[in-house]
Amino acid sequence: MESTTRTAPAAEDARPTGLPPTGRRWRRRLVAALAIAGPGLIAANAGNDAGGIATYASAGAQFGYRTLFFMLLVTVGLVLVQEMCARLGAYTGVGLGALIREQFSIRVSAFALLCFAIANIGLVVSEFAGIAAGMQLLGVSRYISVPIAAAAIWGLVIFGSYRYAEKIFLVLSMAFLAYPIAAILAHPDWAEAGAQLALPHFVASKDFLLLGVALIGTTITPYMQFYVAAAVADRGIGPADYPRERVDTVVGSIFADVISIFIIIATAAAITTRAPLDSAAQAATALEPVAGRFAGQLFGLGLLGASALAAAVVPLSTSYAVAEAVGVESSVSRSFRQAPLFLGLFTGQIVLGAAIALIPGNLIELLVQAQVLNGIITPILLAYVLILANRRSVLGNAANGPVFRAIATACVVVVAALSATVLVQTILGWFGLG
């Protein structure tokens, strides 16, 4: 009996499947690879939202391929930061908000939370600016699209229907996967692009520095760090499962930035006049090799989907972090009477973000400026992540080793130095000294 039981699976496996043995092995490997995809991949690709698309397109339009080496460095930083956050979630079982509250004083924790809230408000503004820019390409004024979108997103979240709308937004945002194809069909100067990807070709100008910090802000976004740690913990991914989650995190980060690099290449090849973008329609021209005369509509739909998705998730992440930090009810299934702080914060961010996006001006410029604000705040929150990941009292033997600690510290210091330079230049500009 025992022998029969052991041979049954082999006999079943021997039945014709239409695939050769190697084909079955590849199928199993594909299933295994898809099973790995999780919080790391989702969090990293969240960076390719409206602000991200606009910033990468602006980089290509304004400086051609010169920001590609910068993106290579940013990718290294993203991989390190996302890996630390995923490791913190897996080995502690809680998110960054709870860890900061447990490991730091009340004042220090409050400062971190304030920085996170400011960064996220900037993101919410950029998402509604993205909705406005996308809908303008579809022939709808921002003064109609933004209020309707704000009311719809608020209602979908408050009344529990967002899970269904999320699938639609995800499908629409998949339009940006056309960028790698567009980059190839645009016939860029691959030799020049490769050289500027491998070696630095920086420009000694304030605009280049501002855009560099914007690239940091839109790629290494604080929201992504808080999300991946919380999502790993929420899924119950522990130390035993972490090797697979590490693969998910690293591969997801690299994949997201490869898409970003293709956006820069496609835009640099499509727009040969080196100047800041004037409109979303100009950014959409990079998709013409794929969509032809429908490039504007394709870009508009993608921008709408990516923006609407993030316009709900980003303010929710702020509300969760603040509500958890002060220990009050935090759930979208509760009423305003049961969770006034949580739902009030969410509502306030939606209203503020939509209101600022309605201010007349260049929507693409507003999107990029929001990423600059994010880039200035990012190193502050990265310092908290680095300290937590270095502490053996938090991670035990999984804490950062000497080499990892040195490289991660160098990344945070470089990001902080760039952000501090931009901040100083901005303040001096206020007094006419910049």
374-402 tens-digit pLDDT? 898 999 999 999 999 999 999 999 999 99
pLDDT at residue 307 in the model: 87
Contact in structure between 394 and 70 (CB atoms under 8 Å): no
Which band of pLDDT confidence, cut at 50, 70 and 90, is reported for residue 201? confident
Using only C-alpha atoms, the chain has a radius of gyration, in whole angstroms, of 23
Closest by CA position to 305, among listed 122, 177, 399, 159: 177
In whole angstroms, give the CA distance from residue 71 to residue 79.
12
Residue 96 neighbours by CB distance under 10 Å: 26
DSSP for 162-183, please give it: HHHHHHHHHHHHGGGGGHHHHH
For residue 30, tell me if it sits in a domain.
Answer: no
6 pLDDT more than 60: no
Contact in structure between 212 and 67 (CB atoms under 8 Å): yes
334 pLDDT more than 70: yes
Alpha helices in 174-294 (DSSP H): 179-185, 190-198, 206-219, 222-234, 242-270, 280-284, 288-291
Residues 6+ away with beta carbon under 8 Å from 192:
65
In whole angstroms, give the CA distance from residue 27 to residue 35.
12
342 pLDDT more than 80: yes
For residue 90, tell me if it sits in a domain.
Answer: yes
Residue 184 neighbours by CB distance under 10 Å: 16
Reported as type and span, the H/E element at residue 161 is none
pLDDT at residue 13 in the model: 41
Which band of pLDDT confidence, cut at 50, 70 and 90, is reported for residue 336? confident
Residue 397 neighbours by CB distance under 10 Å: 8
Q: How many angstroms from the chain centroid is the CA of residue 51?
A: 9
Mean pLDDT of 278-304: 88
pLDDT at residue 33 in the model: 44
Per the structure, the count of domains in the chain is: 1
Mean pLDDT of 49-63: 89
Buried b (16+ CB within 10 A) or exposed e, 198-231: eeebeeeeeebbbbbbbbbbbbbbbbbbbbbbbb
In whole angstroms, give the CA distance from residue 257 to residue 180.
12
Q: Which CATH number do you get for residue 227?
A: 1.20.1740.10
* Count of alpha carbons within 13 angstroms of residue 281, beta-carbon side: 7
Q: How many angstroms from the chain centroid is the CA of residue 162?
A: 20
343 pLDDT more than 80: yes
407 versus 331: which is more confidently predicted? Answer: 407
Kindly give the interhelix angle for 106-137 and 340-357, rounded to the nearest 10 degrees: 40
Closest by CA position to 307, among listed 57, 54, 116, 41: 54
Mean pLDDT of 313-317: 85
Residue range(s) defining the domain that contains residue 227: 38-430
Number of H-type helices and E-type strands within the chain: 21, 0
Contact in structure between 296 and 136 (CB atoms under 8 Å): no
432, amino acid identity: G
For residue 22, tell me if it sits in a domain.
Answer: no
In whole angstroms, give the CA distance from residue 395 to residue 229.
13
Reported as type and span, the H/E element at residue 60 is helix 50-63
Q: What is the residue whose two structure tokens read 């035990």?
A: 396
For residue 62, tell me if it sits in a domain.
Answer: yes
Residue 181 neighbours by CB distance under 10 Å: 15
Mean pLDDT of 292-315: 87
12 versus 150: which is more confidently predicted? Answer: 150
pTM of this structure = 0.82
pLDDT digits (tens, 9 = 90+) for 162-187: 667 767 776 777 787 888 999 999 89
pLDDT digits (tens, 9 = 90+) for 216-254: 988 888 888 887 888 788 788 899 999 988 998 898 889
Contact in structure between 211 and 55 (CB atoms under 8 Å): yes
Contact in structure between 342 and 323 (CB atoms under 8 Å): yes
For residue 20, tell me if it sits in a domain.
Answer: no
For residue 25, tell me if it sits in a domain.
Answer: no
280 versus 144: which is more confidently predicted? Answer: 144
What mean pLDDT is reported for the chain?
Answer: 84
Counted residue by residue, the chain has a size of: 434
- Which DSSP state fits 286? G
For residue 97, tell me if it sits in a domain.
Answer: yes
For residue 16, tell me if it sits in a domain.
Answer: no
102, amino acid identity: E
Roughly how many angstroms between the first and final C-alpha of the chain, as a whole number? 85
pLDDT at residue 15 in the model: 40
pLDDT at residue 390 in the model: 96
21 pLDDT more than 70: no
Tokens of 93: 């079982």
